[in-house]
């Protein structure tokens, strides 16, 4: 068997990516890269993954024409890729299942994961329950408080949730803690990273697992609308739902828009808009765009959406941004909250606050777009998890 390493060209996205990790992790990343390369060409592995995604996960998810939203905005037709209908309520399961089956193959019985909004933690806890693997999820204290429902869901699924009280007590610190756990428990532990970030092979592997979104959507929209979309839209935290939608369309003539969390406005400094407010740097093992101060210290971020509240972004997005292939922009907390309501009322779909960012961009821009175009939005998750938080923000007692 050929070996694949953390420093392969495959882990490089132009000047981004790589594996900036402590020496202890180099060999485990090599083992992971090699195992993944073998698994992805093994028909038995892919058949198991595809079979479970279908019979247990509920794939394929549909692509829905948003008729009332389209009419209201008066722009091009808007279609939604419905990852909210995936088992556990978001796209996260696609990757969690792929990696957990890989862990199983590698003989690793203990799974660790980080989570921001809790969706990746829930997806990981879910697949671990199904496959009989031990599961520990790291979650920042701030996120655990605003996503208490997901914390309880993970516990119901048999996972241990460890809250992280260091640093900004959000996703970034949960990743720090998960990486520390991995370094200490390398022999029996598989780090099931939840987004297209971190050291190689994670950005590539997570992209591959999430590309099922774009592959399905491409066929569905051709069947449903009779043509390809002209604009793809997705929210971008780490960027796994976005790269999953975009990647299968890279060869097509369509615009791609990545929507970051503008928080209270980029000018206030309270945001997670890495492309507008950041610069290239190294965090969590990868070189990418990063919110940092002049001395390379990582800045705290703000977003109403825990899943977008992260100071770095997947390295492939960094390359595609530099290339001009993906246009990155941001919407504010307020715009996202407005979109949360509008999609609920107009389409009968309560979107996750993360996905609400993508919808918000469409609400802002659709009326000025060519009506002959076709917009495809990745509705990456459903908003059930966010209902309590939105009620609290709006002063509604439940």
Partner 1 sequence: MSRTTRISARFAVLQDQSRKAFVPYLTAGDPDLATTGALCRMLAEEGADIIELGVPFTDPIADGPTNQRAAQRALDRGIRPDGILELVRALRSEGFALPIVLFTYWNPLRMLLQLGGGYDALAGIDGILVTDLPPEHGEEHRAACAAANIDTIFLAAPTTPAERLPGIAAATSGFLYYVSSKGVTGARAELAAGLEADVGAVKAAAGALPVCVGFGIGTKDVAARVCEVADGFVVGSALGNVIEKTAEVGGDVVEAARDFVRRLDPR
Residue 232 is given by DSSP the state E
Which range of residues in 58-66, 180-188, 233-241, 353-361 is near partner 1 by CB under 8 A?
180-188
2 touches partner 1 by CB under 8 A: no
167 touches partner 1 by CB under 8 A: yes
Applying the rule CB under 8 A, the residues between 14 and 73 that interact with partner 1 are 18-28
224 touches partner 1 by CB under 8 A: no
Q: Which is nearer to partner 1, 62 or 296 (CB)?
A: 296
179 touches partner 1 by CB under 8 A: yes
Q: Kindly determine how many residues on this chain lie close enough to bind partner 1 according to the rule CB under 8 A.
A: 37
Instruction: Give the shortest CB-28-to-partner 1 separation in angstroms.
Output: 6
Closest to 336 (Cα-Cα) out of 397, 291, 273: 273
What is the set of active-site residues?
92, 114, 380
x/- letters, 267..296, toward partner 1 (CB under 8 A):
--------------xxxxx----x-x-xxx
Token code pair at residue 80: 């939604």
Token code pair at residue 278: 């950041």
The only residue of 58, 74, 166, 345 in contact with partner 1, by rule CB under 8 A: 166
Q: Which is nearer to partner 1, 129 or 299 (CB)?
A: 299
366 neighbors 73 (Cβ within 8 angstroms): yes
x/- letters, 126..165, toward partner 1 (CB under 8 A):
----------------------------------------
Calpha distance 338→222 (Å, rounded): 30
Instruction: Give the shortest CB-25-to-partner 1 separation in angstroms.
Output: 8
Placement of tokens 């009326």 in the chain: 367
184 touches partner 1 by CB under 8 A: yes
> Which residues, in sequence order, are CB contacts of 373 under 8 Å at separation 6+?
75, 76, 229, 230, 231
Count how many residues are written for the chain: 398
Calpha distance 383→140 (Å, rounded): 20
CA angle, 126 as apex, 124 and 131 as ends, to 5°? 95
246 neighbors 233 (Cβ within 8 angstroms): no
Calpha distance 81→67 (Å, rounded): 14
Task: List interacting residues with partner 1 (CB under 8 A).
Answer: 6-7, 18-28, 166-167, 172-173, 176, 179-180, 183-187, 281-285, 290, 292, 294-298
């Amino acid at each position: 068997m050929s070996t694949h390493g953390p420093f392969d060209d495959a882990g490089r996205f132009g000047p981004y990516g790589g594996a900036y990790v402590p020496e202890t992790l180099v060999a485990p990343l090599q083992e992971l890269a090699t195992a993944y390369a073998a698994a992805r060409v093994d028909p038995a592995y892919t058949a198991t993954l595809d079979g479970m995604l279908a019979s247990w996960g509920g794939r394929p998810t549909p692509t829905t024409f948003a008729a009332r939203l389209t009419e209201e905005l008066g722009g091009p037709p808007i279609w939604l890729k419905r990852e909210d209908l995936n088992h556990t309520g978001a796209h996260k399961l696609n990757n969690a299942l792929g990696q957990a089956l890989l862990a199983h193959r590698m003989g690793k019985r203990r799974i660790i994961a980080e989570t921001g909004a809790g969706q990746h933690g829930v997806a990981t806890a879910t697949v671990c329950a199904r496959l009989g693997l031990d599961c520990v999820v790291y979650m920042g204290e701030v996120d655990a408080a605003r996503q208490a429902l997901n914390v309880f869901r993970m516990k119901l699924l048999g996972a241990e949730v460890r809250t992280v009280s260091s640093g900004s007590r959000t996703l970034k610190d949960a990743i720090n803690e998960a990486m520390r756990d991995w370094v200490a428990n390398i022999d029996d532990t598989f780090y099931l990273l939840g987004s297209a970030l971190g050291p190689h092979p994670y950005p590539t592997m997570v992209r591959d697992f999430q590309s099922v979104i774009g592959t399905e959507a491409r066929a569905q929209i051709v069947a449903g609308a009779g043509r390809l979309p002209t604009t793809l839209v997705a929210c971008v935290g780490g960027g796994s739902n976005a790269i999953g939608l975009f990647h299968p369309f890279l060869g097509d003539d369509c615009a791609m828009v990545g929507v970051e969390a503008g928080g209270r406005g980029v000018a206030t400094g309270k945001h997670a808009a890495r492309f507008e407010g950041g610069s290239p740097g190294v965090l969590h093992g990868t070189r990418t765009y990063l919110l940092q101060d002049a001395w390379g210290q990582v800045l705290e971020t703000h977003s109403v959406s825990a899943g977008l509240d992260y100071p770095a972004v997947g390295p492939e997005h960094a390359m595609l941004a530099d290339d001009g292939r993906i246009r990155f922009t941001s919407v504010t907390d307020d715009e996202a909250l407005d979109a949360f309501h509008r999609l609920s009322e107009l389409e009968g779909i309560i979107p996750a606050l993360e996905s609400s960012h993508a919808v918000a961009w469409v609400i802002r821009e659709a009326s000025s777009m060519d009506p002959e175009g076709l917009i495809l939005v990745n509705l990456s998750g459903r908003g059930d998890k966010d209902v309590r938080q939105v009620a609290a923000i709006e002063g509604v007692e439940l």
